[in-house]
Structure 1
Amino acid sequence: MKIQSSLKELRQKKPSKPLAGSRWDDPTNRPPDMLKHLRETRLLTPDLVRGWKLTDDEIHQILVVNQRPLVDAVGVEEGEFAYARTALYLGGPTTDRGWSVVPQQRTGDRKPSPIPYSLTDKKTGRTKNYFEPFLPSKWREQRVPLREFVHWHTLWNANLAIQCCAASGHARAIDIDCRTEEVAEHVMQLAFEHLGTTPFVRVGMAPKLLLLYRVEGEDIDIGSFSVTLGNPDGTVDIGDDGQPLNAIEFLGNGKIVTCYGLHHKTGKPFDWTRGTLHPAAAGPENAPVITKDSLAAFFNAVHSYRPFLSRGSSSNPYGGKASFEAFEARDISGERMWMFPVSAHGTDSGLSFKECFGLVV
C-alpha cells in the first residue's frame, strides 16, 4: 500500500484555482479532489489538520475509516503497520473500538513513548520542538481523543499498547509466560475451561501467550499478581539462563499490554491469529467476563497441574505499580495446598488479595 507521507505531496493536492467557488481549506465546500484525498490518505499531520481546518469527522475518516485495510491485514500478512508508524496507523481504530491506547517504546523497558510537539512564535516565525511524556494514568478513565493523534505522526518506531483500565472496558489479561510449549498450551486450555474462551489471543515470543478478558462490579478491584510454576513433582523448573521456565501473571488495573509492532526481543510482529479477534478490529465487550471465583478455580487447576513455587516478577513494570499477592488454593476437600504472604500495602486499587478473595489467614 502506498503511503502519501510527504508534506509536498499533500500540498500538491491543493488546486491552483477554486473549483466552482469551493475552497480547499473550507470544510463545508471542499473541491472534489480534496474530498478524494481525504478518503484515501492514511497519514495525519499537523499541517494537514491546521492548513485544511479538518473537522472531527474528517479526522475520524483518516484515522479510522482509511485504516481499515491495515486492520483487515493484521494476522493475515506482515504489513507495514508492524514496522513504521504502528501507533499512528492502528491507534485510531483501536481507540475507536473502545480501548485506551498507549504509544510504547520498543526497547527492553518498553516505556511509554514521549509525544513530540511544536510551537511557532507568530512574531518571529521560529518553531520550538519539544517532547512531553505520555502518562498512561491520565487515560485510565478516558481515551485519547482522535485529534491528539496528530502529534503521533513522527513516532516511527513506537509500538501500540492498550491499558487495562476503565477506559478499556475494564479489560484484564492472563499473561501465560511459559517457555515450555506443552505447559503454555495446557495452561491456555485451563483458562478457556475456567475463564471462558476469549477471542483475543496474542503471541509475542512463542510459545508464550496472552489472553484478554474483562471484569465487572466489585471484581474490578482484583489487583495484579503473578506466580511461578514448578515441575509436576514440585521441584524447581529452571532454564539454561537460570530463570524459571514457566510463570503466569494476572494483569490488573493500570497494566499495559503491547498489541502491535515488533516484540522487543524477537524483533518480529505480534501475532493475533491464535484467536479470532484483535483490539483494532473489535472492542473489549467481546472478551468474556471473569470473576474472583473463576480466577480462583483457574489458578487452583493450574496449581494441580504444576505446583506454584514462588511469586513471579512483573513483565512490564511501567503499566502501574505491581503487587504480587496470591490467594490460597485448596484441594477438593477444602484443605490448603499453598499460600503466599499477603502484602499489607494492598493492590493498586487499595485492596489486598486477602480482602479481594475473602480469605482468612
Structure 2
Amino acid sequence: MTRLIAGTLALAATALLTACSEEPASPPVIAPPVDIQAPESLQQAVTRETDAACEAAGTLRGAITRFLETPTAEHLVAARQQWQASHQSYGQALVAYQLAHMNPPQIAQDRDPVDAHPILPGYLDRVPGYPRSGLVYSEVPLTPAFLEEEHQSTDFFYATLGFHPLEVLLWGGIDPRPEFRAQLFQRPDSLPEDQVDARSRRIELLRLIAFALPRDVARLCAYNNRVALTQALAAVAAEPGQAGESLAEALDVMIDQPLARWQANPTGEDRNGMPVWHSAFARSDFDFLRSQLVAWHGTWLPELLPERATATLTERVEALSQRLEALAGTDGLPGMERVSEARSLLAQLRAELTADETASPEGSEEAGQ
C-alpha cells in the first residue's frame, strides 16, 4: 500500500510540474512488464538480430535521402548497396521467426509492408512496353496515408511499401545503369502545364517509401514482440527433438524451396509469368540465402542445439555457402547444374544435422528408461 501511495503522489507531482511548464511532457518510462523465462544468451541473440535489422533500415533511409539530395550515379550505387545490406539484415532476422514458427509482427491479413514479393513493377513506374505507367505517371496525390491504404489492397502484387517497391525505383525497369537511372531523379527546369511531373513524383514516391520502411521494420524491435519471439525460441530449445526438427525445417523453407522453384522454372518465370527471383531487379537472391545460412549456423544452431554444431556440420555449411556464393556471382539466370549441386549439398547438411540422433548418449539413456 505504501508503494502504491508513493507512486500516486509521484504521478500527481509529475502532472503538476507538467502543467506549470511550457515544455511538452516526456513520454513515460515503462518498466519491462514480463520476466522472460529464457537463457540470457538467447535473449541477447534475439536483441542482436532484430537490432541489426532495425538499424539497417534506418541506414538505408539515410542513403536514399543522400541520393535524393544529390542524385548522382555514385550516390545511387551507394543506396543500392545499402538496400542489399538492409534486405539481408532483415532476412537474417526472419530466420528466428521461421525457427519459432511465427509470422513477423508486421504481417496482418497476409499483407506484408516490409518484404512483400513478387510485385508488379509497372504499378509503380515505367517498364518496357509501358513507358508512362504506374503511380509515377498518374495524378493521384502521393501521401503516407495513400501508400498505406493502397498497399496490397486490391491485389497482392500491387505493393507500395517495403523493400521491393524501393528496389523497383532504385534499379528501374528499363535501363538499370546508374548513370542513366540517376538522371530520372533530377528535377526538370520546366514542363508543359498539361504534362505530369514524373521526375518529381518519382522522387517523392521513393522518399515516402524509404521513410516508411524503418517504421515498419521497427516492429521487430518492439519489446513485447521480442519477448514473444524469445519465449517461443526458448520453448523450441527446451526440447532437443523439436529443435532439430525446427532447424531442419528452416533449411527446407528458407533455402531448399527457393532452389527447387528455380529447378521447376529455369527460365526465371513461373507459369503465371511472375518472376522466380525474390529480388528481380537487384538479382541478390543467392546472397540473401547465404546470409540466412550464416545466421542459421552462426547464431541459432549454437543456441537451440549446440551439441549438433560439430566440425563436420560446419564443413557442410561452408561447402553450401561457397556454392551459393558461386550462384550469386552468375550473370543472368543461374545455371541449373549449380542449383542442383547446391540442393545436393543442402541435403548432405540436413542429413548431418539429423544423423544418429537416437544413437546419442542422451537418446540411449532415455531409451533405456
Q: Structure 2 length as normaliser, TM-score? A: 0.25
More strand by share: 1
- Bigger Rg over Cα: 2
Q: Structure 1 length as normaliser, TM-score? A: 0.26
More helix by share: 2
